[in-house]
Amino acid sequence: MLQSGFLGMRDRERPTDEEIAGPLYVIVLGSCACLLISCILGYVINLCRGARGTDAIPYYNWVASTMSISDYQLKPNPRPEGM
């Protein structure tokens, strides 16, 4: 009886590391290339729009805001009224 898909994997040998890492390598390399291209293109576009300094760097404001803790962060009241 012929089996297909994952059920047929029992009859064959295990895929080698190269067979598994090959597609993963292509995906990771492609993702890094897309990120690099978007940063370079975004920087050039922002420079053409007149942004200078850190305002011209794509994703800078987003990364800076996610990495910092707000001074106005809500904190619990140590002595609530009525207690």
Is 0.85 topped by the overall pTM? no
pLDDT band for 12, please (50, 70, 90 cuts).
low
> In the prediction, which pLDDT does 43 show?
94
pLDDT digits (tens, 9 = 90+) for 28-63: 999 999 999 999 999 999 999 999 988 899 988 888
Under 8 Å between Cβ of 43 and 57: yes
**At a CB cut-off of 8 Å and minimum separation 6, what does 5 contact?**
none
d(CA 37, CA 40): 5
Distance between first and last Cα of the chain: 76
Residue 68 has pLDDT above 50, yes or no: yes
Residue 11 has pLDDT above 60, yes or no: no
Higher pLDDT, 37 or 68: 37
